[in-house]
């Protein structure tokens, strides 16, 4: 899905990408290796310190995905890879609205999350704190409300030692650049 995201972004008009909830930055670095110009944002200053030390050539900032210090329509791509999993379900539409605000028309969004395998949005006892499993269709619906069209999805069955199916959604913000 990262390769598909990178190909899709590179086929457009720019390569500026944010990884929101980047943690230690390993996927921000992967996005760079895929030919994009990424930076990472995380709520945790500890994670941002780790990321800066691990990848000194990349930019990492402390910030929250629900209110980013970024101009409207300033990015070609946004990745939220397992960073919405702890958000209260009622707050998720607000996060998606923020992703839509910072993406340029025609920009791309990649979401990774735990999938609910036919059930509704379901909390579970993640080792950090409560997390939520989402129906892939429900996240696609919320994204559609905020102006995203689905480009592709992947459901990955749990590997050995994993409990849940994974959901991955690739979405395009509607509209064209001037
Ligand atoms: C499961 S980790 C994923 C890290 C990274 N995306 C990866 O896959 O390696 C989730 C990260 O999201 C961050 N996060 C959670 N809520 C956030 C928010 N509102 N704004 C920014 N980061 C947030 C956490 O601090 C944590 O580092």
pLDDT tens digit sequence for 41-65: 999 999 999 999 999 999 999 999 9
Give the distance (Å) from ligand 1 centre to CA of residue 80: 8
Please report, rounded to a whole number, the percentage of residues in the chain having pLDDT higher than 70: 99
Average pLDDT taken over every residue of the chain: 96
**10-32: average pLDDT:** 97
Residue nearest to atom 26 of ligand 1 (CA): 23
pLDDT, tens only, 104-158: 999 999 999 999 999 999 999 988 889 999 999 999 999 999 999 999 999 999 9
Which atom of ligand 1 lies at the shortest distance from residue 26's CA?
9
Output b/e per residue, 19-44; b: 16+ Cβ within 10 A: bbbbbbbebbbbbbebebebbbbbbe
Ligand 1 pocket check for 44: Cβ under 6 Å: yes
**pLDDT for residue 127:** 83
What's the gap in Å between 10 CA and the centre of ligand 1? 25
pLDDT higher than 80, residue 178: no
Pocket of ligand 1 contains residue 43 by CB under 6 Å: yes
The finding on whether 22 has its CB within 6 A of some atom of ligand 1 is: yes
Alpha helices in 110-155 (DSSP H): 136-145
Architecture per CATH, 1-173: 3-Layer(aba) Sandwich (3.40)
Integer CA distances (angstroms), 75 to 12, 38, 124, in order: 11, 10, 33
- Ligand 1 centroid to residue 84 C-alpha, Å: 7
Find the 162 Cα to ligand 1 centroid distance in Å: 19
178 alpha carbon to ligand 1 midpoint, in Å?
33
Give the whole-number percent of the chain exceeding pLDDT 90.
95
Domain locations in the chain as residue ranges: 1-173
């Amino acid at each position: 899905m990262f390769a598909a995201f990178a190909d899709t972004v590179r086929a457009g008009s720019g390569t500026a990408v944010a990884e929101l909830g980047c943690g230690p930055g390993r996927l921000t670095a992967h996005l760079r290796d895929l030919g994009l110009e990424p930076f990472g944002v995380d709520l945790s200053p500890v994670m941002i310190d780790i990321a800066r030390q691990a990848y000194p050539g990349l930019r990492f900032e402390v910030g929250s995905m629900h209110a980013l210090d970024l101009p409207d329509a300033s990015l070609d791509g946004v990745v939220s890879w397992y960073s919405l999993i702890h958000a209260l379900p009622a707050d998720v539409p607000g996060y998606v609205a923020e992703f839509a605000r910072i993406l340029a028309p025609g920009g791309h969004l990649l979401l990774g999350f735990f999938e609910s395998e036919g059930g509704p949005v379901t909390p579970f006892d993640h080792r950090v704190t409560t997390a939520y499993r989402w129906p892939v269709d429900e996240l696609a619906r919320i994204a559609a409300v905020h102006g995203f069209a689905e480009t592709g999805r992947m459901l990955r069955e749990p590997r050995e030692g994993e409990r849940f199916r994974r959901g991955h959604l690739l979405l395009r913000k509607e509209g064209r650049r001037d």
